[in-house]
Structure 1
Amino acid sequence: MKENNKEILSVSGLVVCALLWGFGFPALKAVETLPTFYIISIRFAVAAVVLGILFYKQLKFISRELIKNAFILSLLNFSLYIFTTVGIKYTTSAKASFFSCLGFLIIPILNLILYKQKFTRTTAISVFICLAGIVLLSYSPGMGFGLALGDIICMGSSLTGSFSIIYLDRISQKGENTNPVLLSILMMCFTAVWGFCTALVLGDFTASPTKMDWGILLFIGLFCTCAAFLLQTVCQKYVPSNRVGVIFAIEPTSGAFLSVLLLHERMGLVAILGGILVICSLLYQEILSSKAAASD
């Protein structure tokens, strides 16, 4: 398969990944009464078991390098989900989806600071449009643009998520042993372990989920975790991290719209305009990037 075709398919996969994560926000809001680490442990345990069963033949290829990379990624992702799962308890699902997904802005800045990677003109314009859209999208009728405690907590997941994307990009670019399936399985196993251990210490397993809660937890584990993280790990190898950050801006857009649709949260014309701007920023970057790739 030509590199250009791989990149197109990878971008499509990352869009699906972002949409699946968008579903996760109203899903998490629906089970917000359950303890934080209970939710984290169950969702990642479900994902790890399912992937382990589907790809058990590949487990014999696990290497020390894969274990190290998965261990580091699991710590970053565990931190990310602590911020998101706690933060969403103190704000709306729509606003949590915004403040948890500022990677499109943070990633280029981190790349500039850490690796002297300058903004391209396309990325800079796309990020500016995207930022304007996300700010508008964060507007809630009756709440305005004010920051709630949950909004501030959710910003922590944006930072840790950005480090996770950059780290995955770096190990992929170095050509290290980054079997995406095994990396995903190991990362989910480690994250589930961190969640279970913390939940046991805090006594979270005294919770009594309803049948509806279990259905939502299984949905989060299978689709918002298992499928989404596998897509990210497979597809990000062919897409630069700065572009990944903008693509993942679809996540808060879908999260906000789904929160309105499923949870009946209020979303005015200002926020709808913001969602349109986010989509426009993505289209702008992808169209120009495709043209640049075709001319090479």
Structure 2
Amino acid sequence: MPNTSIKITATFLILVATLFWGMTFSFIKDAVSTLSAFNFLFWRFSIASMLLLAISYKQIHFFNRELFFKGVLLGIFLGGTVIFQTIGLRYTQASTASFIAGLSVILVAIIACILEKKRPTINIISAIFLTMLGIGLITLTPHLEFNIGNLWIILCEICFAVYILLAGKFSHTNEPITLTFFQLLCISIISAVINFTFGDFSIPMHTNLWVSILFCAIFASVIAFNLQLKYQRYVSSTKAAIIFASEPIFATITAIIYLDEHLTTRFIIGAICIFSAILLAEMRGKSSH
């Protein structure tokens, strides 16, 4: 059992990773306004995987089949996460997308109940209701139209929920660098195949694009995912998801500063519903019958 000091350190460093992820919403939205989603992802994860290879090649177990399989599996679900997120940010506000991210916390709790063969508690059921209410307030227009960008972000969070659970399980191998490398490489290959298949490849020519790409590659990929895979084993998957739920706070602050976005009353009420659901899901409650 990890001691309290390690748990506190792990919580803090996972929070640092979440800070970097939260900041990416605005950088990605700015980049994909002029660069295709898959082109952005190709550059982001190719640079990230090559950078990690260059600085940590002696620590990467290239021929370990188990780690390779686990890394690729993580890469597939993480790939779905970032691909859907990047596409979604073309059509929705960065702050809106970041708050929908709270959905993954509820999904992790639900999937954990299924895997552990436990009935969901009253708190979980109530949290699901609050989450759907919050998402509805944030994503539905006055004419009850569903923004296609929000749908992509929801798909992103489904993938991320599965990724959190897998990362919690695989992080016990204590090989974060190898797992990080394989998952980053997997996403870069997927992006490259899609990129070249649809003839969408291009070299970014503007400074702001490279700022976004390099920030996402270095801080939100190499550093953040390595921190997550190294320290998530010290906390439960559900607690990790709760920590990740702080991402909207950092994303919203970044969006207000970087993109000059504004908050609406519906958005604030919806966000309160989602955060209430997140807290409620973590409280102990009686199982439903």
TM bucket, shorter chain: 0.7 to 0.9
Sequence identity (%): 26
Confirm or deny that 1:11 pairs with 2:7.
no
TM-score after normalising by structure 1: 0.82
1:205 CA drift (Å): 1.2
The alpha-carbon distance between structure 1 residues 284 and 83, as it changes in their structure 2 partners (threshold 3 A), is: closer
Match of 2:210 in 1: 214
In structure 2, the partner of 1:150 is: 149
2 CA distance for matches of 1:120 and 1:84? 30
Contact 1:10 1:236 survives alignment (8 Å): yes
Name 2:112's counterpart in structure 1: 111
Once the two structures are superposed, the pairs formed by residues 236-275 of structure 1 within 5 Å of their partners are 236-268=232-264, 271=267
Deviation string, structure 1 residues 18-39 (Cα, Å, up to 9, x no partner): 1111101000111122111111
Contact 1:34 1:209 in 2 (8 A): no
Structure 1 match to 2:287:
none
TM-score by length of 2: 0.84
Deviation at 1:47, TM superposition (A): 1.4
Higher mean Cα deviation, 55-64 or 66-75?
A: 55-64
- SS for the counterpart of 1:205 is coil
Comparing 269-278 and 209-218, the one that deviates more: 269-278
Say if 1:275 and 1:8 are closer, same or farther in 2 by CA, change over 3 A.
Answer: farther
Amino acid at match of 1:148: N
Go from structure 1 to structure 2 and tell me whether the alpha carbon gap of 1:284 and 1:159 turns closer, same or farther (over 3 Å shift): closer
Report the Cα distance in structure 1 between the residues aligned to 2:21 and 2:130, rounded to whole angstroms: 18
Would the alpha carbon gap of residues 189 and 27 (structure 1) be closer, same or farther in structure 2, given more than 3 Å must change? same
Deviation of 1:239 after TM superposition, in Å, equals 0.9
Cα distance in 1 for residues equivalent to 2:226 and 2:138? 28
Aligned counterparts of 1:24 and 1:237: Cα–Cα separation in 2: 24
- Cα distance in 2 for partners of 1:40, 1:101 equals 23
Between 1:243-252 and 1:111-120, the stretch displaced more is 111-120
CA distance in 2 between partners of 1:278 and 1:9 (Å):
27
- Following superposition, the deviation at residue 162 of structure 1 comes to 0.5
Specify whether residues 263 and 129 from structure 1 end up closer, same or farther in structure 2 by C-alpha distance, changes over 3 A only: farther
Amino acid of the structure 2 residue aligned with 1:58: Q
Structure 1: 5+ residue runs without aligned partners?
290-296
Counterpart contact for 1:99–1:152, Cα < 8 Å: no
SS at the partner of 1:90?
coil
Mapped partners of 1:269, 1:230: distance in 2: 37
CA contact 1:130–1:249 (8 Å) conserved in 2:
no
CA contact (8 A) 2:42 2:188 kept: yes
Q: Please provide the CA RMSD for this pair.
A: 3.2
Per the alignment, residue 226 of structure 2 pairs with 230
Identify the range of structure 1 (273-282 vs 91-100) with the bigger mean alpha-carbon deviation: 273-282
